[in-house]
Amino acid sequence: MRLDELTANGTHTLTVCNACRYCEQYCPVFPAMEQRTSFARVDLAYLANLCHNCGECLYACQYAPPHEFGINVPRTLAEIRLASYEEYAWPRPLGIVFRDHSVIAALVLVSAFSAMMLLVARLTGQPAPRAPSGGDFYAIVPHGAMVAIFGAVFAFAVIAMAVGVTRFVRDVAGGPKGPQPRTGSAWRALGDAVTLRHLHATGPDCVSGEEERRPWRRWSHHLVLWGFLLCFASTSVAAVYHTVFGWIAPYAYTSVPVVLGSFGGVALLAGCAGLWVVRARRDAALGDPSQDGLDRSFITLLFIASLTGLALLVLRESAMMGRLLAVHLGSVLALFVTLPYGKFVHGFYRIAALWVYERGRT
Ligand code: SF4
Ligand code: SF4
Protein backbone atom coordinates (compact mmCIF):
# COMPACT_ATOMS: atom_id res chain seq x y z
CA MET A 1 0.00 0.00 0.00
CA ARG A 2 1.32 3.48 -0.83
CA LEU A 3 2.15 5.93 1.95
CA ASP A 4 -0.79 8.24 1.23
CA GLU A 5 -3.17 5.25 1.20
CA LEU A 6 -1.70 4.04 4.50
CA THR A 7 -2.18 7.51 6.01
CA ALA A 8 -5.76 7.72 4.73
CA ASN A 9 -6.60 4.26 6.07
CA GLY A 10 -4.92 4.98 9.42
CA THR A 11 -6.80 8.27 9.75
CA HIS A 12 -10.12 6.60 8.91
CA THR A 13 -9.52 3.76 11.39
CA LEU A 14 -8.43 5.96 14.28
CA THR A 15 -11.16 8.53 13.67
CA VAL A 16 -13.76 5.78 14.05
CA CYS A 17 -11.96 4.50 17.18
CA ASN A 18 -11.82 8.00 18.60
CA ALA A 19 -15.57 8.30 18.32
CA CYS A 20 -16.19 4.80 19.67
CA ARG A 21 -13.54 4.43 22.46
CA TYR A 22 -14.77 0.98 23.42
CA CYS A 23 -11.17 -0.33 23.62
CA GLU A 24 -9.71 2.49 25.67
CA GLN A 25 -8.65 0.23 28.56
CA TYR A 26 -6.69 -2.19 26.40
CA CYS A 27 -3.35 -0.49 25.86
CA PRO A 28 -1.64 2.93 25.65
CA VAL A 29 -2.63 3.35 21.98
CA PHE A 30 -6.18 4.37 22.87
CA PRO A 31 -5.48 6.96 25.61
CA ALA A 32 -2.80 8.47 23.35
CA MET A 33 -5.23 8.47 20.42
CA GLU A 34 -7.88 10.25 22.50
CA GLN A 35 -5.57 13.22 22.96
CA ARG A 36 -5.81 13.88 19.23
CA THR A 37 -8.56 15.17 17.02
CA SER A 38 -6.67 14.59 13.78
CA PHE A 39 -3.95 12.19 12.72
CA ALA A 40 -0.93 13.35 10.78
CA ARG A 41 1.67 10.86 9.57
CA VAL A 42 3.83 11.41 12.63
CA ASP A 43 0.87 10.73 14.97
CA LEU A 44 0.15 7.51 13.12
CA ALA A 45 3.81 6.44 13.32
CA TYR A 46 3.80 7.07 17.08
CA LEU A 47 0.55 5.19 17.73
CA ALA A 48 1.64 2.35 15.45
CA ASN A 49 4.83 1.87 17.46
CA LEU A 50 2.89 1.94 20.75
CA CYS A 51 0.82 -0.99 19.47
CA HIS A 52 2.17 -4.46 20.36
CA ASN A 53 -0.17 -6.23 17.94
CA CYS A 54 -1.82 -8.10 20.82
CA GLY A 55 -4.93 -8.44 18.67
CA GLU A 56 -7.55 -7.83 21.37
CA CYS A 57 -9.10 -4.82 19.69
CA LEU A 58 -9.82 -6.71 16.47
CA TYR A 59 -11.98 -9.31 18.19
CA ALA A 60 -13.68 -6.70 20.37
CA CYS A 61 -14.58 -4.48 17.44
CA GLN A 62 -18.15 -4.21 16.24
CA TYR A 63 -16.88 -2.37 13.13
CA ALA A 64 -14.37 -5.04 12.07
CA PRO A 65 -14.79 -6.65 8.63
CA PRO A 66 -17.25 -7.57 7.21
CA HIS A 67 -18.72 -4.34 8.63
CA GLU A 68 -18.61 -1.63 5.98
CA PHE A 69 -16.23 0.47 8.14
CA GLY A 70 -13.68 -2.37 7.87
CA ILE A 71 -11.86 -1.46 11.10
CA ASN A 72 -8.82 -3.62 11.77
CA VAL A 73 -6.58 -1.70 14.17
CA PRO A 74 -3.84 -4.37 14.61
CA ARG A 75 -3.31 -4.74 10.86
CA THR A 76 -3.60 -1.04 10.06
CA LEU A 77 -1.05 -0.15 12.73
CA ALA A 78 1.25 -3.01 11.64
CA GLU A 79 1.29 -1.60 8.09
CA ILE A 80 2.03 1.90 9.36
CA ARG A 81 4.72 0.57 11.69
CA LEU A 82 6.52 -1.09 8.80
CA ALA A 83 6.38 2.15 6.80
CA SER A 84 7.78 4.04 9.81
CA TYR A 85 10.85 1.75 10.01
CA GLU A 86 11.54 2.56 6.39
CA GLU A 87 10.88 6.27 6.77
CA TYR A 88 13.19 6.69 9.78
CA ALA A 89 15.91 4.27 8.59
CA TRP A 90 19.41 5.62 8.10
CA PRO A 91 20.65 5.69 5.40
CA ARG A 92 17.09 5.76 4.11
CA PRO A 93 17.80 4.06 0.74
CA LEU A 94 19.05 0.99 2.62
CA GLY A 95 15.70 0.79 4.42
CA ILE A 96 14.04 0.59 1.01
CA VAL A 97 16.57 -1.96 -0.31
CA PHE A 98 15.99 -4.23 2.69
CA ARG A 99 12.21 -3.69 2.73
CA ASP A 100 11.45 -6.81 0.78
CA HIS A 101 14.22 -8.98 2.08
CA SER A 102 13.17 -12.53 2.44
CA VAL A 103 14.48 -15.79 3.81
CA ILE A 104 16.22 -16.38 0.44
CA ALA A 105 17.94 -12.99 0.68
CA ALA A 106 19.01 -13.80 4.26
CA LEU A 107 20.49 -17.13 3.15
CA VAL A 108 22.33 -15.45 0.27
CA LEU A 109 23.80 -12.93 2.71
CA VAL A 110 24.91 -15.70 5.10
CA SER A 111 26.57 -17.56 2.19
CA ALA A 112 28.33 -14.44 0.93
CA PHE A 113 29.66 -13.45 4.36
CA SER A 114 30.69 -17.04 5.14
CA ALA A 115 32.66 -17.15 1.89
CA MET A 116 34.22 -13.82 2.83
CA MET A 117 35.27 -15.20 6.24
CA LEU A 118 36.82 -18.25 4.55
CA LEU A 119 38.80 -15.86 2.39
CA VAL A 120 39.82 -13.81 5.43
CA ALA A 121 40.97 -17.04 7.11
CA ARG A 122 43.02 -17.96 4.05
CA LEU A 123 44.63 -14.54 3.81
CA THR A 124 45.27 -13.81 7.48
CA GLY A 125 45.18 -17.03 9.45
CA GLN A 126 45.09 -20.68 8.72
CA PRO A 127 43.01 -22.16 5.86
CA ALA A 128 39.76 -23.10 7.59
CA PRO A 129 39.61 -26.79 6.68
CA ARG A 130 42.79 -27.46 8.64
CA ALA A 131 41.43 -26.86 12.11
CA PRO A 132 44.02 -26.61 14.83
CA SER A 133 43.66 -28.74 17.92
CA GLY A 134 42.30 -27.17 21.06
CA GLY A 135 39.55 -25.21 19.35
CA ASP A 136 41.67 -22.10 18.82
CA PHE A 137 39.40 -19.80 16.75
CA TYR A 138 42.05 -17.11 16.51
CA ALA A 139 44.43 -19.45 14.70
CA ILE A 140 41.88 -19.49 11.87
CA VAL A 141 40.70 -15.88 11.93
CA PRO A 142 43.17 -13.78 13.95
CA HIS A 143 41.73 -11.73 16.80
CA GLY A 144 42.75 -8.44 15.16
CA ALA A 145 40.93 -9.31 11.91
CA MET A 146 37.83 -10.40 13.83
CA VAL A 147 37.75 -7.22 15.91
CA ALA A 148 38.29 -5.00 12.86
CA ILE A 149 35.52 -6.62 10.79
CA PHE A 150 32.95 -7.05 13.56
CA GLY A 151 33.79 -3.77 15.27
CA ALA A 152 33.19 -1.84 12.04
CA VAL A 153 29.93 -3.63 11.18
CA PHE A 154 28.60 -3.47 14.75
CA ALA A 155 29.47 0.23 15.05
CA PHE A 156 27.66 0.92 11.77
CA ALA A 157 24.57 -1.00 12.97
CA VAL A 158 24.50 0.86 16.31
CA ILE A 159 24.91 4.27 14.63
CA ALA A 160 22.27 3.49 12.00
CA MET A 161 19.75 2.37 14.67
CA ALA A 162 20.56 5.33 16.93
CA VAL A 163 20.00 7.80 14.07
CA GLY A 164 16.68 6.14 13.13
CA VAL A 165 15.33 6.08 16.69
CA THR A 166 16.51 9.65 17.33
CA ARG A 167 14.67 10.86 14.22
CA PHE A 168 11.56 9.05 15.41
CA VAL A 169 11.71 10.51 18.95
CA ARG A 170 12.41 14.00 17.61
CA ASP A 171 9.26 13.80 15.48
CA VAL A 172 6.85 12.20 17.93
CA ALA A 173 7.96 13.92 21.17
CA GLY A 174 6.30 17.13 20.05
CA GLY A 175 2.78 15.68 20.31
CA PRO A 176 0.04 16.81 22.68
CA LYS A 177 0.92 16.95 26.38
CA GLY A 178 -0.86 14.75 28.88
CA PRO A 179 -2.47 16.12 32.05
CA GLN A 180 0.86 16.28 33.90
CA PRO A 181 4.46 15.21 33.26
CA ARG A 182 5.37 11.90 34.91
CA THR A 183 8.71 11.05 36.48
CA GLY A 184 10.70 7.84 36.06
CA SER A 185 9.32 7.50 32.54
CA ALA A 186 12.42 5.91 31.03
CA TRP A 187 12.46 3.11 33.63
CA ARG A 188 8.75 2.48 33.29
CA ALA A 189 9.03 2.32 29.51
CA LEU A 190 11.96 -0.08 29.75
CA GLY A 191 10.14 -2.17 32.35
CA ASP A 192 7.01 -2.38 30.20
CA ALA A 193 9.11 -3.31 27.17
CA VAL A 194 11.15 -6.10 28.77
CA THR A 195 8.16 -7.57 30.58
CA LEU A 196 6.13 -7.33 27.34
CA ARG A 197 3.30 -5.84 29.36
CA HIS A 198 1.26 -4.79 26.35
CA LEU A 199 1.63 -8.02 24.41
CA HIS A 200 -1.54 -9.19 26.11
CA ALA A 201 -4.19 -6.60 26.87
CA THR A 202 -6.87 -8.14 29.06
CA GLY A 203 -5.40 -11.45 30.21
CA PRO A 204 -2.10 -13.09 31.07
CA ASP A 205 -1.79 -14.72 27.63
CA CYS A 206 -1.62 -13.52 24.05
CA VAL A 207 -4.48 -13.70 21.63
CA SER A 208 -3.79 -15.95 18.68
CA GLY A 209 -7.33 -16.12 17.34
CA GLU A 210 -10.90 -15.32 18.35
CA GLU A 211 -11.55 -16.79 21.80
CA GLU A 212 -8.10 -18.35 21.70
CA ARG A 213 -5.35 -17.47 24.18
CA ARG A 214 -1.99 -19.19 24.36
CA PRO A 215 1.21 -18.24 26.19
CA TRP A 216 3.56 -19.26 23.33
CA ARG A 217 3.90 -15.89 21.63
CA ARG A 218 4.82 -14.21 24.92
CA TRP A 219 7.22 -16.98 25.94
CA SER A 220 8.89 -17.05 22.53
CA HIS A 221 9.41 -13.29 22.64
CA HIS A 222 10.92 -13.59 26.13
CA LEU A 223 13.24 -16.40 25.01
CA VAL A 224 14.49 -14.39 22.03
CA LEU A 225 14.94 -11.20 24.07
CA TRP A 226 16.77 -12.83 26.99
CA GLY A 227 18.70 -15.20 24.71
CA PHE A 228 19.98 -12.23 22.73
CA LEU A 229 20.97 -10.38 25.91
CA LEU A 230 22.76 -13.45 27.30
CA CYS A 231 24.75 -13.86 24.07
CA PHE A 232 25.61 -10.17 24.15
CA ALA A 233 26.73 -10.54 27.79
CA SER A 234 28.82 -13.59 26.85
CA THR A 235 30.64 -11.65 24.10
CA SER A 236 31.16 -8.67 26.42
CA VAL A 237 32.64 -10.82 29.21
CA ALA A 238 34.92 -12.57 26.69
CA ALA A 239 36.11 -9.16 25.45
CA VAL A 240 36.95 -8.12 29.03
CA TYR A 241 38.78 -11.41 29.61
CA HIS A 242 40.83 -10.85 26.47
CA THR A 243 41.63 -7.17 26.71
CA VAL A 244 41.75 -6.57 30.48
CA PHE A 245 43.05 -9.86 31.88
CA GLY A 246 44.83 -11.21 28.83
CA TRP A 247 42.91 -14.51 29.11
CA ILE A 248 42.77 -15.80 25.55
CA ALA A 249 39.97 -18.01 24.14
CA PRO A 250 39.07 -20.85 23.94
CA TYR A 251 37.48 -20.81 27.38
CA ALA A 252 36.47 -23.83 29.42
CA TYR A 253 32.92 -25.17 29.13
CA THR A 254 32.34 -24.03 32.72
CA SER A 255 33.64 -20.47 32.15
CA VAL A 256 31.31 -17.48 32.38
CA PRO A 257 31.36 -16.57 28.64
CA VAL A 258 30.65 -20.16 27.57
CA VAL A 259 27.88 -20.71 30.12
CA LEU A 260 26.21 -17.38 29.23
CA GLY A 261 26.57 -18.06 25.50
CA SER A 262 25.23 -21.61 25.82
CA PHE A 263 22.10 -20.58 27.72
CA GLY A 264 21.64 -17.64 25.36
CA GLY A 265 22.04 -19.82 22.27
CA VAL A 266 19.56 -22.44 23.48
CA ALA A 267 17.05 -19.72 24.44
CA LEU A 268 17.40 -18.13 20.99
CA LEU A 269 16.91 -21.44 19.22
CA ALA A 270 13.78 -22.24 21.23
CA GLY A 271 12.45 -18.67 20.90
CA CYS A 272 13.02 -18.50 17.13
CA ALA A 273 11.38 -21.89 16.57
CA GLY A 274 8.48 -20.80 18.79
CA LEU A 275 8.00 -17.51 16.92
CA TRP A 276 8.08 -19.28 13.56
CA VAL A 277 5.35 -21.69 14.63
CA VAL A 278 3.26 -19.01 16.36
CA ARG A 279 3.41 -16.81 13.24
CA ALA A 280 2.22 -19.67 11.07
CA ARG A 281 -0.68 -20.55 13.40
CA ARG A 282 -1.86 -17.07 14.37
CA ASP A 283 -5.00 -15.60 12.79
CA ALA A 284 -3.75 -14.03 9.55
CA ALA A 285 -6.20 -11.12 9.99
CA LEU A 286 -4.05 -9.81 12.88
CA GLY A 287 -0.89 -9.29 10.88
CA ASP A 288 0.39 -7.46 7.85
CA PRO A 289 1.26 -9.96 5.11
CA SER A 290 3.83 -7.57 3.67
CA GLN A 291 5.90 -8.04 6.86
CA ASP A 292 6.26 -11.78 6.37
CA GLY A 293 9.66 -11.52 4.68
CA LEU A 294 10.98 -9.18 7.36
CA ASP A 295 9.80 -11.42 10.20
CA ARG A 296 10.95 -14.69 8.68
CA SER A 297 14.34 -13.45 7.53
CA PHE A 298 15.13 -12.07 11.01
CA ILE A 299 14.06 -15.31 12.69
CA THR A 300 16.09 -17.32 10.16
CA LEU A 301 19.26 -15.28 10.68
CA LEU A 302 18.97 -15.49 14.47
CA PHE A 303 18.32 -19.23 14.26
CA ILE A 304 21.32 -19.91 12.00
CA ALA A 305 23.63 -17.74 14.13
CA SER A 306 22.53 -19.54 17.31
CA LEU A 307 22.65 -23.02 15.82
CA THR A 308 26.12 -22.57 14.32
CA GLY A 309 27.33 -20.93 17.55
CA LEU A 310 26.24 -23.91 19.62
CA ALA A 311 27.56 -26.39 17.03
CA LEU A 312 30.88 -24.58 17.08
CA LEU A 313 31.05 -24.95 20.83
CA VAL A 314 30.34 -28.68 20.71
CA LEU A 315 32.59 -29.37 17.71
CA ARG A 316 35.34 -26.87 18.41
CA GLU A 317 38.03 -29.51 18.58
CA SER A 318 36.90 -31.39 15.49
CA ALA A 319 38.08 -30.98 11.89
CA MET A 320 34.80 -29.20 11.09
CA MET A 321 35.62 -26.28 13.33
CA GLY A 322 37.13 -24.04 10.64
CA ARG A 323 34.17 -24.26 8.28
CA LEU A 324 31.69 -23.95 11.12
CA LEU A 325 33.50 -20.87 12.36
CA ALA A 326 33.25 -19.26 8.90
CA VAL A 327 29.50 -19.98 8.67
CA HIS A 328 28.90 -18.77 12.23
CA LEU A 329 30.83 -15.53 11.68
CA GLY A 330 29.13 -15.09 8.30
CA SER A 331 25.66 -15.50 9.82
CA VAL A 332 26.44 -13.07 12.66
CA LEU A 333 27.72 -10.53 10.12
CA ALA A 334 24.58 -10.94 8.01
CA LEU A 335 22.50 -10.45 11.16
CA PHE A 336 24.39 -7.29 12.18
CA VAL A 337 24.22 -5.75 8.70
CA THR A 338 20.44 -6.21 8.55
CA LEU A 339 19.68 -5.22 12.17
CA PRO A 340 18.88 -1.55 11.44
CA TYR A 341 16.57 -2.48 8.53
CA GLY A 342 14.95 -5.63 9.85
CA LYS A 343 12.48 -6.67 12.50
CA PHE A 344 15.06 -6.15 15.26
CA VAL A 345 14.42 -2.40 15.33
CA HIS A 346 10.83 -2.83 16.47
CA GLY A 347 12.07 -3.26 20.05
CA PHE A 348 13.82 0.13 20.05
CA TYR A 349 10.93 1.97 18.39
CA ARG A 350 8.53 0.44 20.95
CA ILE A 351 10.72 1.49 23.88
CA ALA A 352 10.97 5.01 22.40
CA ALA A 353 7.20 5.23 21.88
CA LEU A 354 6.53 3.94 25.41
CA TRP A 355 9.00 6.46 26.81
CA VAL A 356 7.27 9.34 25.01
CA TYR A 357 3.95 8.03 26.31
CA GLU A 358 5.18 7.55 29.87
CA ARG A 359 6.76 10.94 30.21
CA GLY A 360 3.40 12.54 29.69
CA ARG A 361 3.44 13.56 26.06
CA THR A 362 0.65 11.34 24.94
S1 SF4 B 1 -11.27 -1.09 17.57
FE2 SF4 B 1 -13.46 -1.01 17.15
S3 SF4 B 1 -14.44 -1.31 19.14
FE4 SF4 B 1 -12.31 -0.73 19.53
S5 SF4 B 1 -12.33 1.50 19.77
FE6 SF4 B 1 -11.88 1.06 17.61
S7 SF4 B 1 -13.88 1.11 16.61
FE8 SF4 B 1 -14.28 0.89 18.79
S1 SF4 C 1 -3.66 -4.71 18.88
FE2 SF4 C 1 -3.48 -4.65 21.11
S3 SF4 C 1 -1.75 -3.28 21.45
FE4 SF4 C 1 -2.46 -2.90 19.36
S5 SF4 C 1 -3.96 -1.26 19.50
FE6 SF4 C 1 -5.10 -3.18 19.64
S7 SF4 C 1 -5.29 -3.55 21.85
FE8 SF4 C 1 -3.64 -2.06 21.57
Which ligand is the nearest neighbour of the Cα of 64?
Answer: 1
For ligand 1, what atom is nearest to the CA of residue 57?
A: 1
Supply the pLDDT for residue 203: 73
User: Is 183 a residue whose pLDDT tops 80?
Assistant: no
Residue nearest atom 6 in ligand 2 by C-alpha distance: 57
User: Is 182 a residue whose pLDDT tops 90?
Assistant: no
**C-alpha 47 – ligand 2 centre gap (Å):** 10
CA angle 153, 297, 73 (to 5 degrees): 115
3-state secondary structure at position 212: strand
Distance (Å, rounded) from C-alpha 183 to C-alpha 172? Answer: 19
What is the DSSP code (8-state) at residue 286? G
The CB density around residue 108, as the number of other CB atoms within 10 Å, is: 13
**C-alpha 34 – ligand 2 centre gap (Å):** 14
For ligand 2, what atom is nearest to the CA of residue 54?
A: 2
For ligand 1, what atom is nearest to the CA of residue 21?
A: 5
Q: How many helices (H) and strands (E) does the chain have?
A: 14, 2
| Sequence letter at residue 192 | D
Residue nearest atom 4 in ligand 1 by C-alpha distance: 23
Supply the pLDDT for residue 326: 94
Supply the pLDDT for residue 132: 57
pLDDT band at 128 (very low <50, low <70, confident <90, very high): low
In sign, the C-alpha dihedral spanning 243, 245, 246, 250 is negative
**C-alpha 195 – ligand 2 centre gap (Å):** 16
Taking only the tens place, the pLDDT of each residue in 75-111 is: 999 999 999 998 999 988 877 777 766 788 889 999 9
Q: What are phi and psi of 67, to 5 degrees?
A: -55, 150
Predicted TM-score (pTM) above 0.85: yes
Q: Provide the β-strand partners of residue 214.
A: 206
Contact by Cβ (8 Å): 325, 338:
no
Supply the pLDDT for residue 202: 73
List for the chain the helix, strand, coil content (%; round to 5). Answer: 70, 0, 30
3-state secondary structure at position 85: helix
Contact by Cβ (8 Å): 291, 101:
no
Supply the pLDDT for residue 362: 55
- Higher-confidence position of 40 and 96: 40
Distance (Å, rounded) from C-alpha 2 to C-alpha 304? Answer: 33
* Average pLDDT along the chain: 90
Residue 142 CB contacts under 8 Å (≥ 6 apart), including other chains: 124, 125
Distance (Å, rounded) from C-alpha 118 to C-alpha 139? Answer: 13
In sign, the C-alpha dihedral spanning 115, 136, 245, 265 is positive
Taking only the tens place, the pLDDT of each residue in 268-318 is: 999 999 999 999 999 999 998 888 888 999 999 999 999 999 999 999 988
Distance (Å, rounded) from C-alpha 207 to C-alpha 221? Answer: 14
